[in-house]
Amino acid sequence: MLTDTMRMPAFRLPNFARKHGITSIVLFTVLALNLFAGISLLGLNVTQGNAVARVTAGLPSAIAKLAPAPEPLQFRSDVAPQDALAINASVPIAEGPNPAARPFALLARTPIDQMRSVYCLTQAIYYEAATEPDDGKRAVAQVILNRLRHPAYPNTVCGVVYQGSQR
């Protein structure tokens, strides 16, 4: 045989043993999930390279029930400049106390998380305000940290920086 002439061991399939049963079940489950994901991806409509989500007829009304209606904007083009100054002067100014913001404390779990957060923050500052003076760079950092505190944004620095990057 060829394996004898090349002095190579013959390839043999391993005997199926009981210890391979759990591994086979896990591999079969992974294969089934991948197959299911592939089939579900085939259901997307693709136009010009972009995936288009299918929206059911009741979805816009369901969203309208959740979100409050915005107040209508009224633009007045017939206002004289003196009247515009009087209207702006009539808007009340809050005279209550203006307490200082709490100091920022990064809640990184590990030193690696802290390093990653600093790296993402410095990347954002560089790409957003590289040619700006220091005040512009500080403003970019402050916006990211303010969003980090807000519940509508991700709760990590990298999450805030890269939010929407998949669009």
| Most trustworthy range by pLDDT among 23-27, 51-55, 144-148 | 144-148
Helix 134-149 with 111-129: angle, nearest 10 deg = 130
Instruction: Write the pLDDT tens digit of every residue in 90-115.
Output: 888 877 887 777 777 777 788 898 89
Q: Taking all residues of the chain, what is their mean pLDDT, rounded to a whole number?
A: 76
Q: Residue 104 domain-assigned?
A: no
The confidence score (pLDDT) of residue 52 equals 53
Closest CA to 88 of 96, 97, 79: 79
Q: Is the pLDDT of residue 150 over 80?
A: yes
The confidence score (pLDDT) of residue 17 equals 55
Instruction: Write the pLDDT tens digit of every residue in 31-81.
Output: 778 776 766 555 555 455 555 556 566 666 666 666 666 666 677 778 888
The domain tally of the chain equals 1
Q: Residue 164 domain-assigned?
A: no
Q: Residue 50 domain-assigned?
A: no
Q: Residue 138 domain-assigned?
A: yes
In Å, how far are 6, 10, 126 from 3, measured between CA atoms? Answer: 5, 6, 61
The confidence score (pLDDT) of residue 165 equals 78
Find the domain containing 132 and state its range: 110-159
Q: Residue 141 domain-assigned?
A: yes
Q: Residue 117 domain-assigned?
A: yes
Task: Provide Rg for the chain, Cα atoms.
Answer: 30
Contacts 24+ apart (CB under 8 A), 14-20: none
pTM score over 0.75:
no
Q: Residue 97 domain-assigned?
A: no
More confident residue, 49 or 88: 88
Q: What is the mean pLDDT of residues 138-158?
A: 90
Q: Residue 135 domain-assigned?
A: yes
Residue 38 tokens read as 């592939």
Q: What is the mean pLDDT of residues 140-146?
A: 92
Q: Is the pLDDT of residue 161 over 80?
A: yes
